[in-house]
Amino acid sequence: MAIPPALVIAARQGWQWQWQRLMGGLGPADAEGNYQRPSSDHLSASVPSFVLATLPEQRRPLLILGRSCPWAHRTWLVHQLRRLGSSITPLIARADHRAGRWQLDPPWQGCHTLLELYRRCGAPPSYRATVPVLVDPSGPRILGNESAQLVELFNEWPAPDGAPDLAAAHQRGEIDRWQSLLQPAVNDGVYRCGFARTQGAYDRAETDLFNALQQVEQALQDGRSWLCGDELSLADVRLFPTLIRWEVVYAPLFGCSRRPLWQFPNLWLWRQRLHALPGVDDTCDAKAWRQDYFGALFPLNPGGIIPAGPDLSTLVHAGIPRP
């Protein structure tokens, strides 16, 4: 039996009201519907003196990560690129979609969830239990939980000979310039697109996003390998987690689909170069990204269906597609 059109319209209006409430659970928005990333309390990171000594594995600082979190991904990348495995132990937390929290599986020091670990480390109740977080197991105590600070910290962390300096003195000005563009327009911009409450908010975010990508594309046209020239830097590390998720998550789910990434040929090749660096592929898990984004973000995917997606190997090893 067909549903009367008037009932369909009424149901649509009711769903839109409920959708607005559900979107509020993902993050606040201003009066014009622009997504505003929720603020988090962060603990300042600094290199503790004990890392200067060789520690047994059970006493090494623990870097707790979530595979789907792009902010955690950037810290993991620096950990891999600078070969810090002998001094910092990574631990992968699992996203519990039903409970809306990070699960420690197996438990660590009696803590089954990241929230329990935060509380055991003495974090105030107001602190959101977020990844990444660096923990000193001897306390335990939190050494830092802000990705922007942690990537800087890991770049200063004692590393094996030959480990790259990702923020050399001659690069710092350009790194900061890229950060001021990419953080709001691209890294956060994809979320401003996906979590926009109104058409106008989406249009503004989407325009800023693709304008920024075009600026990166143009900068790479002069033959440079990396954003700041011939040497890899934190600017590259900060951009990569967003662009490696492009076809898997942000284009299909967040509406970042005006132009496929292969239409930015210099960016396409830049992404392939970075992915080919030792240790980078170990940080990339497209299956986990699809499960966590499509499975957890109910307001964006009410059916909860996790779609099939491209294998990363078809994106990071293939040439630029022909139109």
DSSP codes, 111-139: EEEHHHHHHHTT--TTS---S-EEEETTT
The contacts of residue 77 (CB under 8 Å, 6+ apart) are: 237, 240, 241, 280, 283
Q: Nearest to residue 118, comparing CAs of 129, 131, 102? A: 129
CB atoms within 10 A of CB 323: 5
Across 1-18, average pLDDT: 60
Amino acid 24: pLDDT: 74
Is residue 191 annotated as a catalytic residue, yes or no?
Answer: yes
- 146 assigned binding-site residue: yes
* Domains of the chain, each with CATH number or no CATH: 49-156 (3.40.30.10), 169-316 (1.20.1050.10)
Q: Is 130 annotated as a binding residue?
A: yes
Mean pLDDT calculated for residue range 33-40: 76
Preceding peptide of 4 cis, ω within 30°: no
- 75 assigned ligand-binding residue: no
Kindly name the residue from 69, 193, 256, 284 that is annotated as catalytic: 69
Q: Report residue 11's pLDDT band, with 50, 70 and 90 as the boundaries.
A: low
> The dihedral of CA 50, 86, 154, 131: what is its sign?
negative
> What is the separation of C-alpha 173 from the centre of its chain, rounded to a whole number of angstroms?
23
128 in a labelled binding site? yes
Q: For position 30, what pLDDT does the model report?
A: 85
| pLDDT exceeds 80 at position 163 | yes
Is 87 flagged in the annotation as binding?
A: no
pLDDT tens string 254-302:
999 999 999 999 999 999 999 999 999 999 999 999 999 999 998 898 8
- The residue assigned the tokens 């979609």 is 97
Q: Is the pLDDT confidence value at 10 over 60?
A: no
Least confident of 43-47, 92-96, 227-231: 43-47
From 35, 118, 127, 191, the catalytic residue: 191
